[in-house]
Amino acid sequence: MKQHCNPVALRQYLAGQWETGNGAPIASFAAAHPGQTVANGTAADAGQVDQAFAAAAAARGDWARTPMATRAGYLKRAASWLHERSGDIGAELSREEGKTLAEGIGEVSRAAQILDYYAGESERQAGTVFHSPRPGEQILVSHKPLGVLGIITPFNFPIAIPAWKIAPALIYGNTVVFKPASLVPLLAQRLVEAFDAAELPAGVLNLVIGPGRLGDALMRHPQLAGVSFTGSTAVGRSLCATAANRGIPVQAEMGGKNAAVVLADADLELAVEQVLNGAFRSTGQKCTATSRLILDQSIAEDFLARLRDRLDRWVTGDPLDPRVHMGPLVDEKSRILVDKGIQAALAAGATETYRGKAPEGPGYMGPVILELPASHKPEDNPAWREEFFAPVLTVVRVAGTDAAFASAEDSEFGLSLALFTRDLATAIRAQEQLDVGILHVNSESAGADPHVPFGGAKASGYGPNEQGAAAREFYTHTTTTYLRG
C-alpha cells in the first residue's frame, strides 16, 4: 500500500524545468500519520519567484498568440494524464490532506473534468457583436489575456481549486506563477506534472513551492498582472488591499459560515442526509461546508434525533480505510485551534449536545453539534460568527420561515445556503431574498460544477466569480472595437 512508500521529491517548476528549491528544507506529512513524510525537498526562494515571473513574462506573447484550440489541446492532454492516474494520485491526496480515499479520487477526477471543460472554451462563443447606431459600422467586444497571473491556493482542495484557476488562466492566454498551500505541495506538483507531460510550452506555467512569504514576493512582483486566491478571509483581505493598491485585478474566494435551513414542511430524511454530508464530509474543511443549522422548532427534536442516529454510525478514522466517512483535520495545529473555538463558544453560552467518537491521535476529532439557547443572540457566539473549518455544526431553533430566513441572513458571510422545503413558493422567495452566492434547494451546501458560476456574496468573495462563463470576466479584459470597412 502507498501508506509507507518513500517520500516523493518536491521540486520547483521554472521555465519548463524541474529545479531544486534554493530555500529551506520543506516536507509534507500524512494527515493521519504525521510521523510519515509524504513529500520533501527544499522551498523556492525569492530569486526563484523572480525566475518564475521572468519565464512567464517571456512565454506570454507566444502563448497569447497560440490559437485557443491549440491551447485547449494541452489542457485535454493534461486532463487525460490525470484521469489515467486518478487512483494513485487520489490516494496521495487522501494521505497528504486527510480527506477520504473516495473524496481524494473524486477530487482528482474533478480536476481533470475542469481541465476538459475549459478546453471546450475553444469551441464556444469568443465575444459579442453589437449593432452600431452609425451606418457601415459594427461594434465588436473581444477578450484578451491579462498577462502573468499569480495563483494562490489553499490546502483543502489541493488539486481541484488549482485546476479551476489554472485552466481558465491558460485557456484565455495568460501565463501563470502558481503558489500552492505549503501543507499539501505534492498534489500541486502532480497537477503541474500533468501539464509537463502534456508538453506545455516552457514558462507558460511555473510552480513555486514554499512558505507563505513566497506569496508576498509574488504579490510584490512588478510583472504580476492579476491574482486569483482562495483561502482565509484575513489573508484574502490583505491580498485584496495590496492588489487594489497596485491597481491589478483580484479574485478572492474567502470564508463561509453557511447555513442549512430546515423548514417545517421539509423531507426530513433527505434533509438529515444532506446536512450530514454538507457539515461533515471532508472533515468540514470546505468553504462551502454547512456550519450553521437553522431548524424550525416544530421539527427540531425529530431532526436532531435522526441526525444523532446517523452520526452514531459515522466512522472517523484513517482516510485510506474504505469504511471511514471522515478523516482527521489537516493537522494537529488546526485541531487545537478548533478546540479553542469550541471552548470560547461554550463559554459564550453554547451547549455541546453531541460529540462523535474519533481515534486518539493528532488531528482527529469526531463530529460536534453545538446548540445555542433561544435566550441568546446568536451573533454573540463565536460558533455562529466565525468559520471553524471543522466538523462542527451550530444549531438554533426558530419559529417559522420568516425567522428562519432572518437567521440565515445573520452572518457577515454569504457563500452558500441549503434550504429544505417542499414548497416551491418558499424556494422562490429564498432565491429572491437571501444574499448568498450559491443557493441549494433540497441539497447540501457544498459542491460546485465547472460550467456554472461559483462565488460568494458579502464578505465571502471579492472580485468576479470563478468557474463557468463567469471565469472569463476575471481572466480576461475586453477590447471594444468600432469596426468600419
Compute the distance between CA of residue 229 and CA of residue 218 in angstroms, rounded to an integer.
12
Site for ligand UN1 in 323-342 (CB under 6 A): none
| Contact flags string 159-178 toward ligand UN1, x per CB under 6 A | --x-----------------
In the complex with ligand UN1, which residue's Cβ is closer, 446 or 471? 446
Compute the distance between CA of residue 161 and CA of residue 378 in angstroms, rounded to an integer.
32
Compute the distance between CA of residue 386 and CA of residue 232 in angstroms, rounded to an integer.
11
- Asked if 257 touches ligand UN1 (CB under 6 A), the answer is no
- Asked if 157 touches ligand UN1 (CB under 6 A), the answer is yes
Backbone angles phi, psi at 387, to 5 degrees: -75, 120
Closest contact distance (angstroms) between CB of 356 and ligand UN1 is: 22
**In 415-483, where does DSSP find H-type helix?**
424-433, 470-475
Contact 39, 185 (CB under 8 A): yes
Out of 97, 287, 386, 387, pick the active-site residue: 287
Pick the stretch among 56-64, 154-162, 300-308, 369-377 that binds ligand UN1 (CB under 6 A).
154-162
Compute the distance between CA of residue 26 and CA of residue 31 in angstroms, rounded to an integer.
16
Contact 268, 302 (CB under 8 A): yes
Angle formed at CA 262 by CA 257 and CA 267, multiple of 5 degrees:
135
In the complex with ligand UN1, which residue's Cβ is closer, 53 or 229? 229
C-alpha cell at 268: 426530513
Out of 97, 121, 253, 371, pick the active-site residue: 253
In the complex with ligand UN1, which residue's Cβ is closer, 107 or 196? 107
Q: Give the type of residue at 199.
A: E
Closest CA to 426 of 259, 262, 257: 262
Taking CB under 6 A as the criterion, the residue among 154, 255, 317, 437 binding ligand UN1 is 154
- Asked if 93 touches ligand UN1 (CB under 6 A), the answer is no
- Asked if 288 touches ligand UN1 (CB under 6 A), the answer is yes
In the complex with ligand UN1, which residue's Cβ is closer, 147 or 185? 185
Q: Give the type of residue at 368.
A: V
Q: Is 253 a catalytic residue?
A: yes
The contacts of residue 295 (CB under 8 Å, 6+ apart) are: 262, 303, 304, 395, 396, 397, 398
Closest contact distance (angstroms) between CB of 254 and ligand UN1 is: 9
Contact 151, 166 (CB under 8 A): yes
Rg (CA), the chain: 23
Contact 7, 186 (CB under 8 A): no
In the complex with ligand UN1, which residue's Cβ is closer, 120 or 447? 447
Pick the stretch among 7-15, 151-159, 179-187, 477-485 that binds ligand UN1 (CB under 6 A).
151-159
C-alpha cell at 116: 476538459
Site for ligand UN1 in 187-246 (CB under 6 A): 230
In the complex with ligand UN1, which residue's Cβ is closer, 82 or 448? 448
In the complex with ligand UN1, which residue's Cβ is closer, 192 or 446? 446
Closest contact distance (angstroms) between CB of 401 and ligand UN1 is: 26
| Contact flags string 421-460 toward ligand UN1, x per CB under 6 A | -------------------------xxx------------
- Asked if 103 touches ligand UN1 (CB under 6 A), the answer is no
Which residues bind to ligand UN1, rule: CB under 6 A?
Answer: 154, 156-157, 161, 230, 253, 286-288, 446-448
Q: Mind telling me the catalytic residues?
A: 253, 287
